[in-house]
Chain A
Amino acid sequence: MISEKTRAAIERYKGKPGDELLRIEGIRKEFPGVVALDDVRFSLRRGTVHALMGENGAGKSTLMKIIAGIYTPNKGEIFLRGEKVRLNGPLDALERGIAMIHQELALMPFMTVAENIWIRREPINRMGIINHAEMARKTQELFDRLNIRIDPLSEVRFLTVAQRQMVEIAKAVSYESDVLIMDEPTSALTETEVEHLFEIIRDLKTRGIGIVYITHKMNELFEIADEFSVFRDGKYVGTHASSEVTRDDIIRMMVGREITDMFPKEEAEITDTILSVEGLTLEGTFHDISFDLRKGEILGLAGLVGSGRSNVAEALFGVTPATSGRVRIDGQEVRIASPADAMKHGMAFLTEDRKDTGCFLPLSILENMQIAMLQEKNVRMGFVEQGEVSRQCEEMREALRVKTPNMQERIENLSGGNQQKVLIARWLLTKPRILILDEPTRGIDVGAKAEIHRLISRLAGEGVAVIMISSELPEVLGMSDRIMVMHEGHMTGILNRNEADQVKIMELAAR
């Protein structure tokens, strides 16, 4: 009972290794206010692994989602096996043989492996009842073919991350897909698991499958990829065979960007050490982080997403307290078990995710702004000293130029940049001595960005010690007095302002 689709799928395999599987040309993708991809091209050949490289925000994920049919490009053409196609959603892409292995794995935890693989396509009898034995047999067959050793009848929630990934790969193969997209597949795997994954990938290659492989890791690139394409700021930079280049070449291709005068770090007087961190460790997340921070100093914290940057900030502020290590403030050892503890010591923390951990979306701008300052002060007998609090908030609103008709407006009606200013105001109103900023300018427009940079610079000038995490290297380089770089939970170096450049940072961040 071979369906027409399956027959079409079998036809696909008639191609030879090296034939062009997928080609895209002149792709442009816009989001409101942002051009995510501009005139991008890409080509995938049968039986090869093609890696996509680039910094955070270079456009890799957007490209991947276009190939997987999740986004529709505003411009450009997609050719699949030489034929021009239009992908109508991920399901359409899947049925045409393009499968994506999701970074956040998309399996149903309380269903069996077999049920997950054959969902929507379960073998059924005449009565419409699912034939579980047949389904298990087909799964086993598939696994044997791919050398995967997982019980088809165990529930997915009992599987390790690596095993789940295998199941996703098997599922993709079961659709007879020949274009497979993998988004940082090794980020949660151990070394042996990575080895097993690579074996499977090599096996898939011999079957004529082409793999789009997104990674930040250089050594993987050389181990598994046949060729790679580099993207930068939504633009295509170039494609090379991975045997022809060195690490340095790739880094240069990734960063080759000029620092503009957008980052006006002013000279600030750097005085006494205020915060000193020694051997800070959160088991399984980051290890042995040590640094000093002085008044008036901006310490940049660089590293790729997942390097543990944000986790260090969260540990310092007591959101997820560290398991060991020492923190001293003004020379006194302190124990910070909660954000309230951190605030008592004059710390403030602007989180990375405005929506998840920043804004109170249903509440007004005023409520959003004043919440942290009520923690320690501005309350008498339980009653908020609203007159004084509102006055301070209004002053701060003017100082940061939050554009809003009035303070009673709900924060959800503001633009990203203005929301960010409200959150910064929330923390400045606590009059912090140590300010931790995690991606302070993410997703906001250029004008607001420059204003926030000026503000940070001014605060440092007033003697506030600043830790600034950023994925944008020019921002880190432009703003920081010193830059600490992290890689996979370890500190790989601290660079002074005058010795740091993009290549040096990338070398420490992506080894």
Chain B
Amino acid sequence: MENVQIEPIEKKRSFRIPGDLSILLVLIGVALVFEVLGWITQGQSFLMNPQRLTIMILQVSVIGIIAIGVTQVIITGGIDLSSGSVVAMTAMVAMSFAQAEGYDRAVYPALTGLPVVVPLLIGLGVGLLAGLINGQLIARTGIPPFIATLGMMVAARGVAKWYTKGQPISFPTESFGALGDGAVPVFIFLGMAVIFHILLKYTRYGKFTYAIGANPQAARVSGINVQGHLVKVYAIAGLLAGLAGIVTAARAETAQAGMGMMYELDAIAAAVIGGTSLAGGRGRIFGTVIGTLILGLMMSGFTFLRVDAYYQEIVKGAIIVAAVVADVYRQKARSKAA
């Protein structure tokens, strides 16, 4: 073999808009478009309505919590398709331990009126377990994350249905319901965002996550236990999906096997719109938060403009694809510049 290498010449770097800022500009742009269209078609402001904005963020908080977990999975170069089903499964299981005292048609009539930590821990445990299974499957058998989590997606949905033979579970204790009250889901979402921003940026866990996604062989040679780390990453993603399931159930004050349908795709979309690369090694929680807000803004904006729900989905699909195409071009431009 020839040892010929193309030697790039060091060049002065030209001014580039940082990724974080550009995604923020997209968010503002989308908001402004709705604002203008609002004045034209509805004769009122879209943004000058705190209640609408609160509801918007509330609507996407659950997606946002999942997306945080999914972002770190995608940074490792993987994917998690199971989160929507895990939401349903944890919602069902957690709710069955959160039913109000004396409710005689409870799933476990002897276990009603338990303190809120019980369903909370059980729910988180179920999510963690699902994530651990994902991680172990991927790390031990070497099957692609797409397949492992696809299996979990189908199976967890099955568990959710089997758990009560398809019956919904209702009447939670007041303290459990409080987890979904008012703006609590928003605080949970933003709290998780802060925690995981710090985790990815300042801890060894974060450094290893990026390294594995950037180049798994090099990560291994650098002494990183790649398989072990992947198990952790998927387990944490499961844990966050579990948390999202609890919040969903608490907010709806009921749990159904059909909950969280397609949430995994919205979460992946939020991460990707926020600049996380499906090729691995790149992505930020900040971007994912903005990506989540863009999704929320669109949902809320289209409703505000009274656009048919079908059109909303078509446009959402187009935007997800456009985000990835834009990323591909950005990467190409980068490597050409290099």
Q: Is the CB of B211 within 8 A of A57?
A: no
Task: Give the one of A305, A356, A357 with max B CB within 10 A.
Answer: A357
Q: Which of B27-35, B83-91, B213-221, B286-294 contacts A (4 or more CB under 8 A)?
A: B213-221
- Can you offer 18 A-B residue contacts whose CB atoms are under 8 A? A32-B6, A33-B5, A339-B222, A356-B215, A358-B221, A360-B215, A361-B215, A361-B281, A371-B211, A374-B204, A383-B204, A405-B13, A410-B334, A410-B338, A415-B9, A415-B10, A418-B10, A445-B7
Is B114 in contact with chain A by the CB < 8 A criterion?
no
B236 CB → nearest A CB, Å? 13
A319-B221, A363-B214 known; 8 other A-B pairs, CB under 8 Å? Answer: A33-B7, A62-B2, A319-B220, A357-B221, A359-B215, A384-B204, A405-B13, A442-B5
In the complex, chain A residues 414-429 whose Cβ is within 8 Å of any chain B Cβ = 414-418, 426
Using Cβ atoms and an 8 Å threshold, which residues of chain B touch A56?
A: 1, 3
Interface residues on B, range: 35 or more
Contact string against A for B residues 81-104, beta-carbon threshold 8 Å, 1 for contact and 0 otherwise: 000000000000000000000000
Using Cβ atoms and an 8 Å threshold, which residues of chain B touch A106?
A: none
Given the interface pairs A403-B10, A413-B338, the reply to whether A360 lies near B4 with Cβ below 8 Å is no
- Say which residue of B4, B202, B337 sits within 8 Å of A31 (CB atoms): B4
B38 CB → nearest A CB, Å? 39
Given the interface pairs A357-B218, A360-B281, the reply to whether A374 lies near B207 with Cβ below 8 Å is yes
Is B162 in contact with chain A by the CB < 8 A criterion?
no
A333 CB → nearest B CB, Å? 21
| Alpha-carbon distance A62/B337, docked complex (angstroms) | 27
| Alpha-carbon distance A358/B219, docked complex (angstroms) | 8
Considering only CB atoms, which chain B residue lies closest to A403 in the complex?
B10
In the complex, chain B residues 1-54 whose Cβ is within 8 Å of any chain A Cβ = 1-13
Considering only CB atoms, which chain B residue lies closest to A183 in the complex?
B1
In the complex, chain A residues 59-84 whose Cβ is within 8 Å of any chain B Cβ = 59, 61-62
Using Cβ atoms and an 8 Å threshold, which residues of chain B touch A359?
A: 215, 218
Using Cβ atoms and an 8 Å threshold, which residues of chain A touch B224?
A: 340, 371, 375
Using Cβ atoms and an 8 Å threshold, which residues of chain A touch B337?
A: 413
Q: Is the CB of B211 within 8 A of A414?
A: no
| Alpha-carbon distance A412/B281, docked complex (angstroms) | 13
Question: Residues of B with Cβ closer than 8 Å to A?
Answer: 1-13, 202-205, 207-208, 210-211, 214-215, 217-225, 277, 279, 281-282, 334-335, 337-338
The 4 closest A-B pairs by CB, nearest first: A443-B5, A360-B214, A362-B281, A375-B223
Q: Is the CB of A414 within 8 A of B218?
A: no
Q: Is the CB of B1 within 8 A of A357?
A: no
Using Cβ atoms and an 8 Å threshold, which residues of chain B touch A410?
A: 334, 338
Contact string against B for A residues 414-452, beta-carbon threshold 8 Å, 1 for contact and 0 otherwise: 111110000000100000000000000011110000000
Considering only CB atoms, which chain A residue lies closest to B281 in the complex?
A362
Q: Is the CB of A409 within 8 A of B7?
A: no
Interface residues on A, range: 35 or more
| Alpha-carbon distance A444/B220, docked complex (angstroms) | 25
| Alpha-carbon distance A351/B208, docked complex (angstroms) | 19
Considering only CB atoms, which chain B residue lies closest to A32 in the complex?
B6
Q: Is the CB of B203 within 8 A of A31?
A: no
Q: Is the CB of B225 within 8 A of A340?
A: yes
Q: Is the CB of A375 within 8 A of B222?
A: yes
Q: Is the CB of B207 within 8 A of A371?
A: yes
Using Cβ atoms and an 8 Å threshold, which residues of chain B touch A372?
A: 222-223
| Alpha-carbon distance A226/B277, docked complex (angstroms) | 55
Given the interface pairs A339-B220, A382-B204, A404-B10, the reply to whether A444 lies near B5 with Cβ below 8 Å is yes
| Alpha-carbon distance A501/B334, docked complex (angstroms) | 46
Is A36 in contact with chain B by the CB < 8 A criterion?
yes
| Alpha-carbon distance A165/B221, docked complex (angstroms) | 33
| Alpha-carbon distance A80/B8, docked complex (angstroms) | 36
| Alpha-carbon distance A335/B229, docked complex (angstroms) | 22
- Say which residue of B207, B279, B335 sits within 8 Å of A370 (CB atoms): B207
Q: Is the CB of B10 within 8 A of A414?
A: yes
Using Cβ atoms and an 8 Å threshold, which residues of chain B touch A36?
A: 2, 4
Given the interface pairs A62-B2, A319-B221, A362-B214, the reply to whether A367 lies near B207 with Cβ below 8 Å is yes
Q: Is the CB of B222 within 8 A of A416?
A: no
Using Cβ atoms and an 8 Å threshold, which residues of chain A touch B218?
A: 351, 356-360
Q: Is the CB of B7 within 8 A of A59?
A: no
Using Cβ atoms and an 8 Å threshold, which residues of chain A touch B282?
A: 362
Using Cβ atoms and an 8 Å threshold, which residues of chain B touch A236?
A: none
A367 CB → nearest B CB, Å? 7
Using Cβ atoms and an 8 Å threshold, which residues of chain A touch B11?
A: 413
Considering only CB atoms, which chain A residue lies closest to B202 in the complex?
A383
| Alpha-carbon distance A371/B224, docked complex (angstroms) | 9
Is A392 in contact with chain B by the CB < 8 A criterion?
no
Considering only CB atoms, which chain A residue lies closest to B10 in the complex?
A403
Q: Is the CB of A415 within 8 A of B211?
A: no
Q: Is the CB of A57 within 8 A of B203?
A: no
A187 CB → nearest B CB, Å? 12
Is A34 in contact with chain B by the CB < 8 A criterion?
yes
Q: Is the CB of B214 within 8 A of A317?
A: no
Q: Is the CB of B202 within 8 A of A61?
A: no
Is A263 in contact with chain B by the CB < 8 A criterion?
no
| Alpha-carbon distance A443/B5, docked complex (angstroms) | 5
- Say which residue of A31, A349, A405, A471 sits within 8 Å of B221 (CB atoms): A349
Q: Is the CB of B207 within 8 A of A317?
A: no
Is A379 in contact with chain B by the CB < 8 A criterion?
yes
Q: Is the CB of B5 within 8 A of A371?
A: no
Considering only CB atoms, which chain B residue lies closest to A412 in the complex?
B338
Task: Give the one of B5, B337, B338 with max A CB within 10 A.
Answer: B5
Q: Is the CB of A357 within 8 A of B217?
A: yes
In the complex, chain A residues 321-344 whose Cβ is within 8 Å of any chain B Cβ = 338-340, 342-343
| Alpha-carbon distance A319/B222, docked complex (angstroms) | 10
Task: Give the one of B8, B211, B221 with max A CB within 10 A.
Answer: B221
Using Cβ atoms and an 8 Å threshold, which residues of chain B touch A32?
A: 6-7
Considering only CB atoms, which chain A residue lies closest to B210 in the complex?
A363
Is A88 in contact with chain B by the CB < 8 A criterion?
no
Using Cβ atoms and an 8 Å threshold, which residues of chain A touch B217?
A: 356-357
| Alpha-carbon distance A412/B337, docked complex (angstroms) | 10
Q: Is the CB of A360 within 8 A of B204?
A: no
Using Cβ atoms and an 8 Å threshold, which residues of chain A touch B8?
A: 413-415
Is A219 in contact with chain B by the CB < 8 A criterion?
no
Q: Is the CB of B221 within 8 A of A351?
A: yes
Is A386 in contact with chain B by the CB < 8 A criterion?
yes
Q: Is the CB of A443 within 8 A of B222?
A: no
Considering only CB atoms, which chain A residue lies closest to B206 in the complex?
A384
Q: Is the CB of B225 within 8 A of A338?
A: yes
| Alpha-carbon distance A31/B12, docked complex (angstroms) | 23
| Alpha-carbon distance A384/B5, docked complex (angstroms) | 35
B335 CB → nearest A CB, Å? 7
Using Cβ atoms and an 8 Å threshold, which residues of chain B touch A471?
A: 3
A13 CB → nearest B CB, Å? 34
A105 CB → nearest B CB, Å? 16
| Alpha-carbon distance A413/B338, docked complex (angstroms) | 5
Q: Is the CB of B1 within 8 A of A426?
A: no
B271 CB → nearest A CB, Å? 16
Contact string against B for A residues 136-171, beta-carbon threshold 8 Å, 1 for contact and 0 otherwise: 000000000000000000000000000000000000
B7 CB → nearest A CB, Å? 4
| Alpha-carbon distance A94/B12, docked complex (angstroms) | 44
| Alpha-carbon distance A206/B100, docked complex (angstroms) | 93
